[in-house]
Amino acid sequence: MSRVTGLWVYQTLTTTPPDPDAVAARAQDHGLRWLSAQAIRGDELLDCDWIRAMRQATRERNMRLGVHGYIGKPAPQPGAEADAMARAVDIAEADFAIVNAEIEYERSANPDSQAFVDAYRRLQPDFLSYFSSFGRPSLHAGLDWAAWAEGAFRGMPQAYENLNAAQLKPAQCVADWARFFETKALRPTLGCFSEGGHGHLPVARLVASVREVPTVSFNIFRHGTVTNAELTALAGT
């Protein structure tokens, strides 16, 4: 069974949100076992009907469903963002949540990471939740990594080797995140997209990057950019 298990799905990156049944069918065909549906943006709860349709499509295929969202834009609002994510969990009847916080929380002069964690855990005290952020904590010391780890969030490193082959190999990211998070519970995210002049990794290297870290499972960023060739190759890892 492949250790590449899940796929991020966005409802706002195209004019028309992707069809839940088509997305779930494609994921299942390539051996993936969960999808994460975009549910919030900052403190905004997005299209709930689409979220519910994603829940139905995954349930029909015996797949798990998570909800995710990028917090901090245009500026951190920890309490409101925590409330939106907690509501999304309930609306989707989700199996887990992924909270994505990056540069806005890193640059904040206030203890916003701790404030989000405290507010979220008051609402969802025991819910399985992941923290997604930069691939290397050592390169972003301004972010309060410990707050997330101590708040019972599991680590989801953005191991985007396609953006920085020298410093963002999954093995490097896992080793760095292990300073804060339990290693065996880490779930690195593979970059299967193009951005800022950086393209996709060669498929052979993408597969090799997974095999270099045999102790954890992986997921893919994201639906809409990952290719069938990548999915087919990763299914064999």
Tell me the pLDDT tens digit for each residue of 148-158: 999 999 999 99
Coil, strand, or helix at residue 188?
A: coil
Centre a 10 Å sphere on the Cβ of residue 159 and count the other Cβ atoms it contains. 28
Percentage of the chain lying above the pLDDT 70 cut: 100
Residue 109 pLDDT more than 80? no
What are the tens digits of pLDDT across the range 65-85?
Answer: 999 999 999 999 999 999 999
Global pTM reads: 0.98
* Chain segment 13-31, per-residue pLDDT in tens: 999 999 999 999 999 999 9
40-to-54, 57, 72, 149 alpha-carbon distances in Å? 14, 19, 11, 22
Give 1's pLDDT tier (boundaries 50, 70, 90).
confident
Quick one: average pLDDT of 82-95? Answer: 98
**Residue with tokens 């929380």, as numbered in its chain:** 105
Q: Note the pLDDT tens digit of each residue in 44-59.
A: 999 999 999 999 999 9
The class of domain 4-234 in CATH terms is: alpha beta
Give dist(CA 114, CA 188) in Å, integer. 23
What are 38's strand-pairing partners? 68
Per this entry, what is the length of the chain? 237
Contact 211, 203 (CB under 8 A): no
CA 127 to CA 176: how far, in whole Å?
25
Domain locations in the chain?
4-234
The rounded distance, in Å, linking the Cα atoms of 198 and 201 is 9
- Answer whether 67's CB lies under 8 Å from 84's CB: no
Q: Tokens 């396609």 label which residue?
A: 162
CA distance 101 to 72: 7
Of 78, 76, 58, which is closest to residue 67 (Cα–Cα)? 58
Query: Cis (ω within 30 of 0) for the bond into 74?
Result: yes
